Amino acid sequence: MSGRLAVLGAGAVGRSVVELAEEYDYTVTAVADSQSAAIDAKGLDPEAIFTRKDADGTVGDENPEAALDASYDVLVEATPTTLGDAEPGFAHVKAGLEHDRHVVLANKGPVAERYGDLMELVTASDGDIRFEATVGGAIPALSTIEDFGPGHITAARGVLNGTANFILTRMAAEGLDYEHVLAEAQDMGVAEADPTFDVEGTDAALKCVILANVLSQGEQEFALDDATVDGITNVPGAALDLAADDGRTVRLIGEASRDGIRVGPRLIPENSALAVSGTRNIVQLDTTHAGRLNISGRGAGGPETATAVLSDVGRLL
Amino acid sequence: MSGRLAVLGAGAVGRSVVELAEEYDYTVTAVADSQSAAIDAKGLDPEAIFTRKDADGTVGDENPEAALDASYDVLVEATPTTLGDAEPGFAHVKAGLEHDRHVVLANKGPVAERYGDLMELVTASDGDIRFEATVGGAIPALSTIEDFGPGHITAARGVLNGTANFILTRMAAEGLDYEHVLAEAQDMGVAEADPTFDVEGTDAALKCVILANVLSQGEQEFALDDATVDGITNVPGAALDLAADDGRTVRLIGEASRDGIRVGPRLIPENSALAVSGTRNIVQLDTTHAGRLNISGRGAGGPETATAVLSDVGRLL
């Protein structure tokens, strides 16, 4: 199944999509970052693009917006997630759908913050959208919900942020405090210099908003304001010690259903399926007729997230 | 998405497919068991059919073969798995494909034992086949392999037989011998009167054969004879005690790759994702670019397996 991709965003995910595309029999005809774009209807050479980007910070000679008018079958939106109006990601998706092209998102912003607007654009377009990469990286959560039918999933919950989970896992294993483990995670590149988005639960909440929007099938629209969110910054090391004495541990659990969204640290049994370790993620789906499904895997990372993007492309073409 | 289903087989799985079809917006136009068939192009009433079957053992007044000529969009093959020539299941699938209809299998026989023959029929037909229900019940193993692309999965392994896993779990938890726990499982209806198929590893091996056929994408055809299979009948209770002293346990693990198939009892860490409890199943997929995925859930049962069948129907229509 061949096809042409325009990739917006040249961070870890966009770069991996471009680098892996050929292995999936896709041709990349445009790549853009916030500064520049490279466009070639016959197909771009990933190595040349990223050698240039590493050298001078640009991917090509064109303006970024030019990528939206390139020849492509699927637009891949992999620019950074922004909150509120979800721009410029939303404008990119809009342009793709208005060109009657398919769009695959790795950017959570448009799906979490402007789901209704997005669905209106889809309805008016010959193109469709998919966004598996926005929830749990490589974990096939949304595809499974789609295959089962959203009406046959009563609730979704899980560990949806690898940084927070890494910190809780290390705190429990080493008996260390939050601040100490955070500094260690920052040294290792697992946590960002400003970890707010991950440790305050915002990232997990956005994923739960997306899950809730998919589960409610447009009957109700959810956004970040609808979520009740607690992070892990106030979890004392002593709480993890006490939990361990009782065969339990603490995980930052996000929960989504048609009734709402909440994210917070929860006490769970150490042998629970939800007790994944380190940066791993898990999504647990409660089904109407098939019990509970658990799907765990790598929730972030360039090639991992790109794999979800390329699976979505395959479902669309 | 509406559609008409002809359901062959009126055991636990076929019955659940018929009973749940309406909830998925499908109409059942034919149901057959080995004795009889009920056919109505306007749609059958599940309650009437199974009240009759419970009373006199028949589902309707027609011959079973008549169901193959009914009006339907998707044929569901849910008759018992048979080995060797995989009949009569294979003939049913052949008839459906020769009518240019889609076919969904819950019956492992044709997919495990005659994969090449099946693919030839698919090539010659306007219909397609799917068989998610044949591996791990409700677990979306084959759909995930398809979405990732079989070429991007290097190996699949897992706990694929709930009866064997129930027995091993109980032996470890209670310190009991195989024979004792088997008798208990038979009393509970978890093991059949003749448990050979489950406890000797044949059922898990068939699932691995199917996984290997999907992973090899027709480059090589696997059948049961290609599998190296050991069951759990010779696992002594003492082995589980020794394993537990070392933080380990024993599970009947099936492994499939393009290089072959093996099934046997393996020593694994108690906190391994593979150490699912009771009748639960797990499928673990090694991917080229996205690390390891674990998918666990109910591996058997009427409504659970029917859910996989109905998801497949949704992908085909």
Residue of A nearest to B147 (CA): A311
Residue B177 to residue B167: CA distance in whole angstroms = 9
Q: Where would I find the H helices in chain B? A: 12-20, 46-56, 89-98, 108-113, 115-123, 141-148, 162-174, 178-188, 196-199, 202-216, 237-245, 302-316
Which residues in chain A are contacts of B138 at CB distance < 8 A?
287, 290-291, 293
Interface test with B, best of A143, A147, A292, A304 (most B CBs within 10 A): A147
For residues A93 and A77, the answer to whether their CB atoms sit within 8 Å is yes
Whether A291 contacts chain B with CB within 8 A: yes
Which residues in chain B are contacts of A271 at CB distance < 8 A?
271
**If you count DSSP H runs as helices and E runs as strands, how many of each does chain A have, helices first?**
12, 12
Which residues in chain A are contacts of B271 at CB distance < 8 A?
271
Residue B289: closest CA among B135, B149, B158: B149
Residue A316 to residue A273: CA distance in whole angstroms = 32
Residue of A nearest to B19 (CA): A289
**Topology annotation, domain B142-298:** Dihydrodipicolinate Reductase; domain 2 (3.30.360)
B12 assigned ligand-binding residue: yes
Residue range A5-29: mean pLDDT, rounded: 97
Residue range A3-23: mean pLDDT, rounded: 97
Q: Centre a 10 Å sphere on the Cβ of residue B260 and count the other Cβ atoms it contains.
A: 14
**Over 80: is that where the pLDDT of B304 sits?**
yes
B94 assigned ligand-binding residue: no
Whether A41 contacts chain B with CB within 8 A: no
The interface residues of chain B toward chain A in range 183-202, judged by CB-CB distance below 8 A, are none
Q: Where would I find the H helices in B63-151? A: 89-98, 108-113, 115-123, 141-148
**Over 80: is that where the pLDDT of A191 sits?**
yes
* Complete edge-to-edge strand list for the sheet that includes strand A227-229: A227-229, A260-269, A248-257, A153-159, A280-287, A292-298, B292-298, B280-287, B153-159, B248-257, B260-269, B227-229
CA distance B98 to chain A (A): 26
CB contact under 8 A, B291 and A308: no
Q: Using CA atoms in the order A206, A254, A179, A170, what is the torsion angle rounded to 10 degrees?
A: -130
Question: Mean pLDDT score of chain B, rounded to an integer?
Answer: 96
Which tokens sit at A141?
Answer: 């959560």
Question: Mean pLDDT score of chain A, rounded to an integer?
Answer: 96
For residues B158 and B284, the answer to whether their CB atoms sit within 8 Å is yes
Q: How confident is the model at residue A1 (pLDDT cuts 50, 70, 90)?
A: low
CA B143 remoteness from chain centre: 14
ipTM: 0.95
**Over 70: is that where the pLDDT of B28 sits?**
yes
CA distance B50 to chain A (A): 19
Whether A22 contacts chain B with CB within 8 A: no
In order of B119, B172, B284, the CA distances from B153 in angstroms are 20, 32, 10
The three-state secondary structure class of B288 is coil
Q: How confident is the model at residue B64 (pLDDT cuts 50, 70, 90)?
A: very high
Residue B297 to residue A285: CA distance in whole angstroms = 10
For residues B185 and B167, the answer to whether their CB atoms sit within 8 Å is yes
Q: Centre a 10 Å sphere on the Cβ of residue B52 and count the other Cβ atoms it contains.
A: 16
For residues B79 and B90, the answer to whether their CB atoms sit within 8 Å is no
Which residues in chain B are contacts of A289 at CB distance < 8 A?
16, 20, 303-304, 306-307
pLDDT at B2: 83
For A142-299, CATH gives: 3.30.360.10
H/E element holding A215?
A: helix A202-216
Which tokens sit at B58?
Answer: 């028949």
Residue A204 to residue A308: CA distance in whole angstroms = 18
Q: How confident is the model at residue A218 (pLDDT cuts 50, 70, 90)?
A: confident
pLDDT at A2: 83
**Topology annotation, domain B3-137+303-316:** Rossmann fold (3.40.50)
Residue range A5-34: mean pLDDT, rounded: 97
Interface test with A, best of B132, B294, B310 (most A CBs within 10 A): B294
* Biggest alpha carbon–alpha carbon distance for chain A: 62
Catalytic residue at B94? no
Residue range B7-32: mean pLDDT, rounded: 97
Whether B20 contacts chain A with CB within 8 A: yes
**Residue B132: what residue type?**
E
What is the number of CB-based contacts under 8 A between chain A and chain B? 104
CB contact under 8 A, B314 and A147: yes
Burial of A56 (0-12, 13-18, 19+ CB in 10 A): exposed
Binding-site positions of A for NADPH:
108
For chain B, domain boundaries: 3-137+303-316, 142-298
For residues B31 and B5, the answer to whether their CB atoms sit within 8 Å is no
Please tell me whether the peptide bond between A88 and the residue prior to it is cis, using omega within 30 degrees of 0: yes
For residues A261 and A208, the answer to whether their CB atoms sit within 8 Å is yes
Which residues in chain B are contacts of A2 at CB distance < 8 A?
none
pLDDT at B218: 84
- Just list the catalytic residues of A: 207
Residue B141 contacts by C-beta under 8 Å, 6 or more apart in sequence?
A: B132, B135, B156, B158, B211, B283, B285, B295
- Give the DSSP letter string of A216-259: HTTSS---GGGEEE--STT--HHHHHHHHHTTEEEEEEEEEETT
B184 assigned ligand-binding residue: no
Residue B33 to residue A151: CA distance in whole angstroms = 30
Question: Each residue of A52-71: pLDDT tens digit?
Answer: 999 999 999 999 999 999 99
CA A188 remoteness from chain centre: 21
Which tokens sit at A98?
Answer: 């208005």
Q: How confident is the model at residue B1 (pLDDT cuts 50, 70, 90)?
A: low
**Through-space distance between the first and last CA atoms of chain B, rounded to whole angstroms:** 7
**Over 80: is that where the pLDDT of B56 sits?**
yes
**Buried/exposed code over B146-174 (b: 16+ C-beta within 10 A; e: otherwise):** bbbbbebbebbbbbbbbbbbbbbbbbbee
Which tokens sit at A138?
Answer: 């490589």
Residue range A211-221: mean pLDDT, rounded: 95
CB contact under 8 A, B304 and A289: yes
3-state helix, strand, coil in chain B (%, to 5): 45, 25, 35
pLDDT at B286: 98
The percentage of chain A sitting over the pLDDT mark of 70, rounded to a whole number, equals 100
Identify which of B137, B293, B303 has the shortest CB distance to residue A297. B293
pLDDT at A80: 95
B108 assigned ligand-binding residue: yes
CB contact under 8 A, B295 and A292: no
Which residues in chain A are contacts of B152 at CB distance < 8 A?
23, 307
Residue A82 to residue A94: CA distance in whole angstroms = 16
